[in-house]
Amino acid sequence: MDVEQLRSASVSVIGAARSGVAVGRLLRSQGANVFLSDRDTEERLKSHIPHLQESGIAYELGGHTERVFQCSLMVISPGVPSNAPVVLEAQQRGIKVVSEVEVAGWFCRASMVAITGSNGKTTTTTLIGRVLGDAKKKHALAGNIGTAFSSIVLELAETDVAVLEVSSFQLDHCETFRPTISVLLNITQNHMDRYGNSMEQYAASKSRIFMNQTPREVLMYNADDLWTSRVIAQAKCRAIPFSREKRLAVGAFIEDEMLVTMLGGKRTAVIPLTEISIKGPHNLYNAMAATLVGQLMNIGSASIRATLRNFKGVEHRQEFVREVNDVRYYNDSKATSVEAVWYALQAFDQPIVLMLGGRDKGNDYSRLADLVGKKVRAIVALGESAEIVEKVFKALKQVKRATTMDEAVLFAQQFAQPGDVVLLSPACASFDWFENYEQRGLVFKELVKNL
């Protein structure tokens, strides 16, 4: 949509949490008549209401009325499914429906580096930000990482870089979104509840990150990932791979235990693998992607090398919390898919007491069976999926169901022996017990600190 057309246009925003409020305020600042609607209660959304009132945005809570359809444009927050009745009704009435990221992109003057994937988005986004920051390159992190793109986009200059973590939900209703550099880390089974158990549909959603890129823009992609390798055939932009498994003519790869890149005919041995602070095979992919982005941004290898040595990871992602009685506790609350747990289990050599479960997203837990058999001492089953978790793993390991996080931490402590690791790595969304994965991780950490 032409930005000029937004002036005095009627726009409905669905979802009154962080992203919805941010895009509502952005559109209001540009002269649009904004109406915001959410099915949730005033009590649950009370922290966001003052921002709406300050901006003069009309809103309704507790359900969607006919007024939401009195618009020429509907903007939906990431938490609103594409098949939500309000979205389907709007489309049936011929109302244009777009995502918050799409709208923010209309106003972005800066270069955009957008990162998606089933696993590793937050770590890679944060690491790219650190690479840019250490090189004194002005940038901002936004998107699924926690800061709505709409809330910072007007502050960015042409010489800045917007580093965006983008989920499939945010991509679903993008039409013109076109990053300068896109990064596709992997496509593994996730959110099957939202995509009708269709990997094809989920992969198509992820591939929207590069659908508008031209030969002037760049796509970085994981050459070792099956679904990623399939979808990049559609790309019309310059595609640069990274791989742990093979040497490449162009891109990033491993050679003689070094992270090596080949760009513009120049081979660069960036850093020995032993010096990269974030561990595990999944983090090696994240490091390669961040290295390639840095090099394309004309950041020198010495600066990138220093960042890779110093970067210790992100909160809620295999985050060391505390050691108690020779047992180390790790917070991996951000692990909301089976694949994320699979990677987490590979990162430890010690026996693991695994805290697993939450709001299920159509998970196939059996894919963890081999690793659980080899690495896990016992499982504490959490939340709504506790019964499913117990059913899948009770023949392999001792499983105990917890009804609260307090109880779960107590059970984990009882299972653990000196030298073990207790790992909160749920493979599920957090919305059964918590508002988000951050709150889940913070509660876990607080409980561990009080042991």
Active site residue 121: yes
Active site residue 191: yes
Active site residue 436: no
Which position among 48, 64, 119, 121 bears the catalytic label? 121
Which position among 119, 144, 190, 222 bears the catalytic label? 144
Among 256, 255, 309, which Cα is nearest to 134's?
309
SS (HEC) of 15-79: CCCHHHHHHHHHHHHCCCEEEEEECCCCCCCCCCHHHHHHHCCEEEECCCCHHHHCCCEEEECCC
Which position among 48, 191, 316, 445 bears the catalytic label? 191
Q: Which residues are catalytic?
A: 121, 144, 191
